[in-house]
Amino acid sequence: MEKNVEISMLNQIYGKLLTTKQYEIIDDYYNNDLSLSEIAENNKITRQAVRDILKKGERKLFEYEEKLCFMKRMLNQEKKISRVLAELTKIQRNDSDKEIANILENIKKDLNALV
């Protein structure tokens, strides 16, 4: 996974555990696509201070993920759900019983709501 996407996802999951300033700067940099200079100007701090806050916040996000593994579990769960959906689709195509087809369709809808 690309680092920018990973940090953005980690910030969504663990961002509230960071300081408000760290959360906002990471959000501005990775989600709002602002440059270090733009963030520095908006927050009336130096570009170096923005970089330091970013790096410290990123380290914390990776530490939280290393200890708690929420993102890893979420991604694994999504993969498993996708595999189950693919298998249900195979069964649905090969079975001609309408009642079973309806049950499988309802299961697929429920699983899709989880993803």
Whether residues 41 and 86 fall in one domain = no
CA–CA dist 18, 65 (Å, integer): 13
Say how many domains are in the chain: 2
Q: In which band, very low, low, confident or very high, does the pLDDT at 96 lie, cut at 50, 70 and 90?
A: low
CATH number at residue 46: 1.10.10.10
CA–CA dist 84, 53 (Å, integer): 42
Question: CB within 8 A of 115, min separation 6: which ones?
Answer: 78, 81, 82
- Give pTM, 2 decimals: 0.78
CA–CA dist 71, 10 (Å, integer): 7
Q: Which residue has the higher pLDDT, 101 or 75?
A: 75
The pLDDT score that the predictor gives to residue 84 is 87
The pLDDT score that the predictor gives to residue 105 is 84
Q: What are phi and psi of 42, to 5 degrees?
A: -65, -35
CA–CA dist 57, 6 (Å, integer): 13
Q: What is the mean pLDDT of residues 92-98?
A: 72
CA–CA dist 1, 62 (Å, integer): 14
Q: What are phi and psi of 26, to 5 degrees?
A: -65, -40
The pLDDT score that the predictor gives to residue 72 is 94
Decide: 88 and 37 in contact? Cβ < 8 Å.
no
Whether residues 56 and 8 fall in one domain = yes
Using the predicted structure, report yes or no on whether residue 3 has a pLDDT greater than 70.
Answer: yes
The pLDDT score that the predictor gives to residue 62 is 97
Whether residues 84 and 109 fall in one domain = yes
